[in-house]
Structure 1
């Protein structure tokens, strides 16, 4: 283990200590938004003014819209004020300087602004959140795909199946049933061990380009029918 001496201990030992300035989120934001004067060289080509943009402008440069996310609820979203209050409590952890901003896009979609990069990574890593028992999928927003930003290709989630016929309680049977939702990946251990026949759990990369089915009716050539 490394021998670490705190600044206070070092002062007692008589060692010179250089204490770095406190790097608060306010300082980070201020640095991020700071501006400077560039030397701009203007030339003329075919009668038009042309300015060559230096690589420095693109280096370590973060877009102003990197803070924005799109939240897609799988059903009608709760009132925007309720969403704002609950997610600020969960994500901002009571820090008023890191409050989450959001606006309502439509009845199932909201646009979030999360300035804290640690919170952004946590929100995106988990991907799916639940609010008032309504799942919500978070995705990065980008102006380059404004038209398609509200559409999600695939989202990993657990699908719970009820009333699966016993003759379909198999890897192939569960795969077929959940293919209506997306791409089946694996069975829950509880389902694989047949410890619960009332509810089968399958991990699926759900296809969010179409509305997810709540109930599906299945029929066989032998005349059997099942509602799952």
Structure 2
């Protein structure tokens, strides 16, 4: 996936740990870096949802502005709006001369097990890309929700699936600070992290009993003229 290097070009360590949705967007559409897409979204922002916002809130706030919704105040609702905002944006990015079909499978309040998500994604055509969300499933007051959510790019390849964490492709100046903050070796922050299965933030292993997922599929096909 030849996106612009580095993808995670945040200028400070805090933002570099919050921008996984934008880094994933870069991987799915195969272009750009985090700051370029943030600028595009903020340029198109509804006036009553003007920045500044933390970079992990922008997709949700964009969706709320489009639908004239009040700002989400709860974790479950905030994540739901982020998912819908990212889905909306991906649905309006079509490669030149081609058309993308974009769908959500699973939801923030009814997610998939990691094995269910993998099985469904393997049924897609080779070349399909996904915005894949993983998080810890917890229940409170009789309702479940995903906490500590993290976005990855995934791609259906001939041998199965590859998961790419573009958030770990960090600019050189802040790698030591990100490494200390996220408890990861600095040398692991100079390129996307590619694995055969989903991972938690900054390469931490998932818990197949407690973690759940949803995904947004991005299937590109040639436009057939009648």
TM-score by length of 1: 0.25
Looking at both structures, which has the greater relative contact order when contacts are Cα pairs under 8 Å and sequence separation is at least 6? 2
Q: Which has the higher helix share?
A: 2
Greater radius of gyration (CA): 1
